[in-house]
């Protein structure tokens, strides 16, 4: 028993002793404001920053970390309050301070050093889409995943679309966010994998982005693992 406790303690120390580097690249032709929210009890990473077109920023992340990263755009500061029309977290500041982004937003989700000592990562469009993204583990043998298509302007039905003041589409809601019905949200009598199935609306996201989650139980082709704890490059508008 003592040996097991000592081993578990050393695993815990190793998990926190080494950091993982996230490189956030902005390949969009305009400025974005990436943001993060931490779901684990560990230390937060930077919760928001400005990133010019073609710029990048490196973040040091605890090797045992769980959270989400997304990007905001069409942002401005008015009378001292920072707001974004897409992905806003409602903090009133560039840093979100622990607040999540408003749907629809393309989410990159991580659980580093999770079950079995693996990293888990995915792209989620469960609440909708706002920007294309790619996640590239910086080690051979682990899968690069992406949602490379601009769903806003190519595929988004009008009933799901979020419009900017100039009439352009800056987000595409999921059917759950748009209609709040159990068959789209996988709730109530649809609250299990055998009852909640793909719909015509979820396929709006799944067909152009087959590696991304398109609804709550879309696990089979959407959750990825890596055992060797690499650094990651996250590119918006790849």
DSSP string, 61-108: EESS-EEEEEEEEEEEEETTEEEEEES--SSSSSS-TTPPPPSS--EE
- Interval 154-189: pLDDT, tens: 899 999 999 999 999 999 999 999 999 999 999 999
- CATH code of the domain in which 106 resides: 2.60.110.10
| pTM exceeds 0.85, yes or no | yes
Average pLDDT over residues 12-18: 50
Q: Exposed, middle or buried, 166 (CB in 10 Å: 0-12/13-18/19+)?
A: exposed
Residues in the chain, total: 238
Return the CA Rg of the chain.
18
Q: Exposed, middle or buried, 118 (CB in 10 Å: 0-12/13-18/19+)?
A: middle
CA distance linking residue 185 with residue 103, whole number of Å: 14
- Whether omega for the bond prior to residue 8 falls within 30 degrees of 0, making it cis, is no
CA distance linking residue 196 with residue 157, whole number of Å: 21
The neighbour count for residue 202, using CB atoms within 10 Å, is: 22
What confidence tier does 74 reach under pLDDT thresholds 50, 70, 90? very high
Structural domain count of the chain? 1
* DSSP string for 138-195: SSTTS--EEE-S-HHHHT--TTTEEE-TTS-EEEEE-HHHHH--HHHHT-GGG-STTT
Average pLDDT over residues 35-55: 92
- 3-state SS class at 38: strand
- Comparing 1 with 209, the larger pLDDT belongs to 209
Domain span at residue 221 reads: 2-236
- Interval 204-231: pLDDT, tens: 999 999 999 999 999 888 999 999 899 9
């Amino acid at each position: 028993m003592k040996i097991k406790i000592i081993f578990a303690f050393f695993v815990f120390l190793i998990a926190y002793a080494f950091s993982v580097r996230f490189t956030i690249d902005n390949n969009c032709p305009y400025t974005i404001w990436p943001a993060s929210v931490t779901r684990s009890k560990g230390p937060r990473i930077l919760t928001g920053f400005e990133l010019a077109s073609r710029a990048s920023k490196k973040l040091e992340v605890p090797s045992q970390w769980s959270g989400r990263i997304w990007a905001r755009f069409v942002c401005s500061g008015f009378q001292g309050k920072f707001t974004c029309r897409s992905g806003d977290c409602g903090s009133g500041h560039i840093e979100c301070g622990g607040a999540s982004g408003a749907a629809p937003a393309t989410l990159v989700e991580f659980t580093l050093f999770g079950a079995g000592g693996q990293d888990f990562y995915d792209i989620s469009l469960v609440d909708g889409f706002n920007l294309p993204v790619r996640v590239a583990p910086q080690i051979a043998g682990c899968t690069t995943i992406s949602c490379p298509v601009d769903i806003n302007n190519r595929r988004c039905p009008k009933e799901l679309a979020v419009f900017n003041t100039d009439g352009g589409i800056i987000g595409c809601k999921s059917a759950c966010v748009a209609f709040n019905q159990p068959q789209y949200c996988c709730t109530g009598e649809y609250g299990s994998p055998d009852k909640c199935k793909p719909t015509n609306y979820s396929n709006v996201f799944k067909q152009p982005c087959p590696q991304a989650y398109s609804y709550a139980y879309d696990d089979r082709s959407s959750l990825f693992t890596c055992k060797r704890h690499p650094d990651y490059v996250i590119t918006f508008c790849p």
